[in-house]
Structure 1
Amino acid sequence: MTRMLDLLVAVGILLVLLPIFAVLWALIRFDSPGPAIFAQTRVGRGQAPFTLYKFRTMKSGTAAAGTHEVSVSAVTKIGKFLRGTKLDELPQAINLLLGQMTLVGPRPCLPVQEELVNARQALGVYRIKPGITGFAQIREIDMSRPHELAEADHVYMKLQSVLLNFKIILLTAFGRGGGDRVASA
């Protein structure tokens, strides 16, 4: 049932929001040089690497590091808006289609975020697919707190249900979970 919902949402996003994709693509391209779609290797289910797709919110050439380790000055003007509204996440519909992600689950991290990777591995979190939103995110726990994040992911793994997923999706849609914070300038 979860896979069917992921597919329906992904197809819906890609078909219905295609005009918005085009507008966002153009705004990103006019705001700063570089591609509009950002592709980055992340750690998925079973610790398998996969390519995550997002609208680019930072200047091209920004170091591949946890968002909390990147200066706020790296965020573009349109990127600030995209991050605040979570519109930067829309291209992850591709990851849903490919079965690499699900709507709700632990947010996928970078392979270089070793402290988080190890904490999640120790708790068995990699038995489930990563998600576009998650239990930790609605509790405002980001990747700057790796052990707390891994613990929240583990709690979600034990409690996950259709009702909990629906609640997480609703809370995310209504603005809960601001995303990973960037470092101060």
Structure 2
Amino acid sequence: MKIGMGSSNPAKIKAADPFLAYFKEAELLSYSSDSLVSAQPFSDEETKEGAINRAKDCVKQGASIGLGFEGGVMEMEDGMYLCNWGAVADKDGNVFSAAGARILLPLSIVEGLKQGQELGTLMGEFTQDPEIRKKDGAIGVFTSGMLTRSEMFLHISTILLGQYVYHLNR
């Protein structure tokens, strides 16, 4: 079985671990998958769509199961929040999605986002580490490292695996 990850980002690739543990004979392949949404998604709906598009694209490229993860932001009455979505798709056309942790972003970051900058770029400047999106990410920075981007996507992946296994066993 081939499990496809719609990204080469190490924080997202680590999120495939629950699927690899469950499907012991599976092989993980990283695909260059386009989210087909904005480079910086600005809503839950757009972020979710990006994750689903990545998962489906992995299947189109030959994976038995595709995984897609997408980070974005969403506006609420008290400010702009980080949001993250994941999706799993398979050759039979099944698609499941799940969301992850939310955290209020500082005004300095929100201002940059509203000026058209991407969160990853802003976080790279904020931390003076251009690779932060491949490491702790915004969630790691703004939780003092208590929850990393990889751990957040891993949590979403575990939810997705649970949904998928439930579906398989029905």
TM-score (norm 1): 0.26
Greater strand share, 1 or 2?
Answer: 2
Greater helix share, 1 or 2?
Answer: 1
TM-score (norm 2): 0.28
